[in-house]
Chain A
Amino acid sequence: MLTQTLERQTTWLDDRLTLGKGSKKLLNKIFPDHWSFMLGEIALYSFIILVLTGVFLTLYFIPSTAQVVYHGPYKPLDGQRVSEAYASTIDLSFSVRFGLVMRQMHHWAADVFIGAIAVHMCRIFFTGAFRRPRELNWAVGVTLLMLAIVNGFLGYSLPDDLVSGTGLRIAFSILLSVPVVGTYLAFFVFGGNFPGTSIIPRFFILHVLIIPAVIAGLIAAHLGMMVHQKHTQFRGKGATEKNVVGSVAWPTYAFKTLGYFFLTAAVLAGLAGLAQINPIWQYGPFIPYHVSYAVQPDWYMGWLDGALRIFPSWETVAFGHMIPTIFYPAVLFPGITFTVFYAWPFIEDHFTHESRQEHHLLDRPRDRPLRTAIGSGVLAFYFLLFSASATDVLANFFGISLNIVLWSFRILVPTVPIIVGFVAHRICKELQTWEDVGERKRPTIILRSADGSYVGTTADYRPGDEPRELEPEPVPEAVGAHANGASTPELVGAGAGLAAPSQASAVPSGVLQAPRAPRNFDGGGGFLSNLRPRRQRD
């Protein structure tokens, strides 16, 4: 019954949209399997959750700095003059049922979104997945990272609390520091001198419409290019530069990835329900002459905050003009960072000339010691800057003077990455000398010969311990139902399209269905017994 209905629907659609032609290729698309390929999916699903929870928040949030007197369930603030933005954020947290869960889920999803992008980018970098033909997609990804950071900052600036207001004051000063146009930039963005009344509504429309729309478009381009160019894969399991080996899109991969969406959402919901984030009622409303102690921005701004803290107080004045000290760590430094990110595929290719051919097989990081060393050093550099954004917390925690902490970071930030790079290079070289890395381990048998010399040989696999990976094969175009262990497997015409009349089988053509495993196992054999040993790796 069901299959007939399904077939009627697909036929109806196909008559109008010619689905049959391309869908076979799309449904049979192969996705390589590796845990590290799921990092980008975390980012994608976090973004979807950001949009869903964000829409909920816009129904209650009022982007206005007009002053109101707060009266609501949070008694410590009762009677205090606050902005509408602040009051509405408190209200949607405490007066709207499920509102706090949604708001915290949104904030956690933003932190996870950017974190997943960063880790995904590391995977792409260390495995060389940015090489030809994927330089463009690397650039799209770098843009997504940048926009995600910017939108995160805009988002946590909206509640107009004391922490975010202080962040806005710093942002104003950073815009101000740009040579030549800085004062105009700051005044145009803020609609006048700090604080003004325009910034919350302006950031709101950027945060909820403009930047998310650009991010959504770029994600579509990112995925579209990935589908068109086909995913990269690691060596082994029969993978070559000329094929893609993995799971089939429909239904296996579709179900795995749908489950992964639910799992990502579950983690974010768990954080939202159990882990408090950005409790603005504790920070209080933004008052320009108030500030609180031990204020750290969201994690993805940490590297910039750390750079602001440890950069020396160099301020140059020449010919009646000033280059303020924060221009270097807060404008020039991120500018250089993202320029290098964009340029990296071309920088590397300048030395390796690998763009002469396409690269679809991923590098193991150990096989590219120099790249791995540079990447490790850069990671160490940004991690140290991130840590430097907590100089005050560290000084308090360890009971040492701020002076010592600051100077430690000023020394560690430029030196440790170099050491990390050397160590990473060394480790790569060491790992390269190990043979059969990643292979199933086999015992080495050491024999002493009659003349006293020793010879080591690798033993055969123990019985039942042979590698059982299958050789990859093309997805069969159509498979008949196989029930009750019928002796003659049924074959369905492979050319049957979506609109073709149903075959004798009850399964619609073009849909892959797994035969049920026979249930009478013959002592550890069963249907597994026809698994053949894996082909030797070439």
Chain B
Amino acid sequence: MSDTLEERGDGAARQRIDDPHLSLPIENDRRMEAIIAGFLFVGLAAAVVLAVGYSLAWSEIWLGTIFTISLAGFGIGVTAWGKYLMPQGPFEEPREELSSSAEDREVFDATVERGVGIIGRRKLLVRLLGAGSAALGIVLAFPLLRSLGPRPGNSLFTTKWKRGSRLVTADGRVIDASFLETGGVTTVFPEGDAGSAISQTLLIRPGVPGSSIVTKPGRETWGPDGYVAFSKVCTHAGCPVALYMEETQQLLCPCHQSLFDILSGANPVFGPAPRPLPQLPLYIDADGYIRAQAGYDEPIGPGFWYRGND
């Protein structure tokens, strides 16, 4: 306590008016008041201009800028008012320990115990209430959780591709063997499921007409007439594997940069993808249309718990 303070009977402080704690931190408060008034005026004027600009449908850039000027005028003005035209102290206040006194705690404990004792006497009721609310909670989980969606069932293991599916583009055009030049690529779907997020498949023609693309032993007939097809859903996080690099015959997923080597069966050669893209076996029918020999022989896309061994 300094000499500018006098103690009152109850210990509260009375303070002399020339206390530096209450003085302003600047010498010329009139000048500061004028400056602050200037900023507040800018805030006000900009608000008026904003109203005009709004009614005249000025561009959003101008409206945003004027809005900024208005807010900044008020912001600077009010902050400076608090900083220069108000007492800065420093003031202090005492900080009491947070723990209650020993007596208060005893009373608290005793009160809690009193309630627990009154409740605990009715053992049957306590058990019934516990079991009942648990049962109700489990029952409520069904409308709250179970109704949210269908069970996954078989849907993660299958696509709409099946034996004989004709390949169509996103807008439903049927694809024949002359659709792509060598080095061409397009996204295809089974007929009737155009645009599907699950069935989307990349049809690539790395080979010349008449050649057969064999990516792995056992897939001798899967790539007729220079065509191959792979699931477009990345085995890492499910993004569309959209970038085909003809020079190296690789596919790149733009999300996390997994790289798949087409000619070795879309084997991941770089990046975080753990598995090859599933390959769709193709054949060309008598009319020259490209069709699927069968659906994918493994689940497409990223992994999941029930995927198991394959």
Contact = CB atoms under 8 A, between A and B. Distances in A.
B148 A324 contact: no
B15 interface: yes
Contacts of A310: 272
A259 B303 contact: no
A288 interface: yes
Interface in B54-86: 54, 57, 60-65, 67-68, 71-72, 74-83, 85-86
A248 B89 contact: yes
Contact of A326 (B146, B254, B302): B302
Contacts of A340: none
A245 B255 contact: no
Nearest to A476: B15
Interface of A: 28-30, 33, 97-101, 104-105, 133, 166, 169-170, 172-174, 176-184, 186-196, 198, 229-230, 237-238, 241-248, 251-266, 269-270, 272-274, 287-295, 305, 308-315, 317, 320-326, 330, 358, 360, 391-392, 402-403, 406, 469-477, 479-480, 482, 486, 489-491, 494-495, 512, 514-517, 519, 521, 526-528, 530-532
A98 B242 contact: no
B197 A177 contact: no
Interface stretch (B16-24, B117-125, B217-225): B16-24
Interface stretch (B92-100, B127-135, B172-180): B92-100
Nearest to B6: A491
Contact of A312 (B146, B272, B306): B272
A99 to B, nearest CB: 8
B238 interface: yes
B216 interface: no
Contact of A183 (B26, B75, B306): B306
B90 A238 contact: yes
Contact of B197 (A169, A256, A311): A169
Given A243-B93, A392-B257, A517 B308 contact: no
A252 to B, nearest CB: 4
A273 B95 contact: no
Contacts of A28: 91, 93
B150 interface: yes
B79 to A, nearest CB: 3
Contacts of B151: 184, 187
B270 interface: yes
Contacts of A530: 18, 20
A174 to B, nearest CB: 7
A494 B150 contact: no
Contact of B18 (A264, A288, A512, A515): A515
B98 A358 contact: yes
Given A252-B88, A269-B67, A494 B12 contact: yes
Interface string B182-195: 00000100000001
B87 A514 contact: yes
Given A248-B89, A252-B88, A260-B79, 10 more contacts: A169-B197, A179-B305, A238-B90, A255-B78, A259-B81, A262-B79, A266-B68, A471-B90, A473-B13, A474-B93
A118 to B, nearest CB: 23
Given A198-B149, A402-B257, A473-B2, A270 B94 contact: no
Contacts of A247: 88-91
Interface of B: 1-2, 5, 8, 10, 12-24, 26-30, 54, 57, 60-65, 67-68, 71-72, 74-83, 85-95, 97-98, 145-146, 148-152, 155-156, 170, 187, 195-198, 200, 232, 236-240, 242-243, 254-259, 268, 270-275, 301-309
A515 B243 CA distance: 73
Nearest to B78: A259
25 contacts: A30-B91, A173-B238, A243-B94, A244-B92, A245-B92, A248-B87, A255-B79, A260-B75, A262-B72, A290-B242, A305-B256, A317-B307, A321-B305, A323-B305, A326-B236, A326-B302, A358-B97, A470-B90, A471-B90, A476-B15, A476-B22, A514-B24, A514-B85, A514-B86, A527-B23
Contacts of B258: 313
A29 B93 contact: yes
B76 A263 contact: yes
A194 B150 CA distance: 12
Contacts, number: 377
Contacts of B85: 514
A90 B267 CA distance: 40
A388 to B, nearest CB: 10
Contact of A173 (B8, B243, B301): B301
A359 to B, nearest CB: 12
Contact of B64 (A101, A170, A186): A101
Contact of A322 (B27, B146, B149, B308): B308
B22 A515 contact: yes
Nearest to B94: A243
A265 B71 contact: yes
A322 B303 contact: yes
Contacts of B145: 188
Nearest to B152: A183
Contacts of B71: 262-263, 265-266, 269
Contacts of B146: 188
A30 B89 CA distance: 10
A364 to B, nearest CB: 20
B95 to A, nearest CB: 5
B257 A189 contact: no
A291 B306 contact: no
Contacts of B309: 317, 320
A308 to B, nearest CB: 5
B22 A479 contact: yes
Contact of B90 (A254, A326, A403, A472): A472
Given A272-B64, A295-B254, A521-B27, A178 B91 contact: no
